[in-house]
């Protein structure tokens, strides 16, 4: 399973999440449509990922990569911020976890 596939999965999730966040705040069919398109993309990418990877690996890597990419996007695009050092440490631990899971998959 490539990191490109997992990144595509995470990026489609970002499209969906940003659309649904906008819909939650302001409503609008366009925002809802963006959210739905994003999550249809997520389902497509998940099916593609499950063809070559197991649920534990795909879910762990997707959650980790998505957390990092969506944090960066939310920070830069939406202006969202973490509030404490503990939250930043937790995010750093997620990055270490992604690396460890990926290295374990390569070692097979």
In whole angstroms, give the CA distance from residue 9 to residue 27.
25
| Residue range 54-84, pLDDT digits in tens | 888 888 888 888 888 998 999 999 899 999 9
- Residue in 101, 69, 73, 67 with CA at minimum distance from that of residue 87: 67
Domain boundaries, given as residue ranges, for the chain: 3-106
| Residue range 90-105, pLDDT digits in tens | 989 988 988 888 787 6
CA triplet 45, 102, 12: central angle to 5 degrees? 25
In whole angstroms, give the CA distance from residue 105 to residue 59.
13
């Amino acid at each position: 399973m490539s990191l490109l596939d997992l990144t595509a999965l995470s990026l489609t999730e970002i499209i969906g999440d940003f659309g649904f966040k906008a819909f939650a705040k302001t409503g609008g069919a366009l925002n809802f449509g963006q959210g739905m398109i994003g999550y249809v993309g997520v389902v497509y990418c998940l099916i593609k990922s499950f063809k070559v990877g197991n649920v534990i690996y795909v879910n762990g890597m997707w959650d980790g990569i998505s957390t990092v990419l969506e944090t960066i996007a939310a920070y830069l695009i939406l202006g969202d911020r973490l509030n404490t050092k503990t939250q930043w440490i937790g995010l750093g631990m997620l990055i270490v976890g992604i690396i460890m899971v990926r290295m374990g998959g390569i070692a097979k």
